[in-house]
Structure 1
């Protein structure tokens, strides 16, 4: 078995940085508008994908899109991230109702620790901007 893929950003988030990351997306009008645009695009993509019932949110970051993913009442969400701290922050930052719908999974976006065909859709909203 090969070593897991690690990029520069793979290990950069400690608990303090994770908390700042969550707050960053709520800071200021421009960031809130950008988030609303991301939500619009996400809803459109989920609709085009047929409103999948089991969604893997990878990387889930601070759970910023969990409330959106939970809008469909029977959708199950797997919130996955390489960072254990990021997953813990996501679970603490979101409402109890939303977190109840999320199964947390620590895994790499480059080597997903799930069997083939185990989800209907992979929701990958903010990974590529890190890779650049």
Structure 2
């Protein structure tokens, strides 16, 4: 069995860093506009995917896309991240009515702790720009 892939950035998310990550996407006009554009792209992707009912948000980070994913009333969201601190931050930072719709899961993107075919879609907005090696991106 191959050893799991460990990326340097994924080890840095303690509680303080996770909170800073949450706040940085709300800081300043440029970041807010960038987030709005990400939301436009995400809505279009979800539409093209047939508005999936069970979505794995991996990595979920601080849950910044959970409100968007929760716009579809009957959608179930699995909010997964390698960092327990990120999941905790997401669960405290996002609106309670949104968090109530999310099933938190600590797992690696390289070894997702779910059975095959257990979700309709994987929502992955901000992972690949962190992965430098082509073999790791393929995994």
* TM-score with structure 2 setting the length: 0.93
How far apart are the structure 2 equivalents of 1:112 and 1:24? 27
Q: For residues 68-92 of structure 1, give each alpha carbon's deviation from its aligned partner in whole angstroms, at most 9, with x where no partner exists.
A: 0000000000000000000000000
Secondary structure class of the residue paired with 1:9: helix
Give the total of aligned pairs. 132
Gaps of 5+ in 1: none
Partner in structure 1 of residue 135 of structure 2? none
How far apart are the structure 2 equivalents of 1:115 and 1:8? 27
- The two structures, once aligned, show a CA RMSD in angstroms of 0.8
How far apart are the structure 1 equivalents of 2:129 and 2:3? 23
Partner in structure 1 of residue 137 of structure 2? none
How far apart are the structure 1 equivalents of 2:26 and 2:82? 23
Matches within 5 A, 1:1-132: 1-132=1-132
Secondary structure class of the residue paired with 2:113: coil
Gaps of 5+ in 2: 133-139
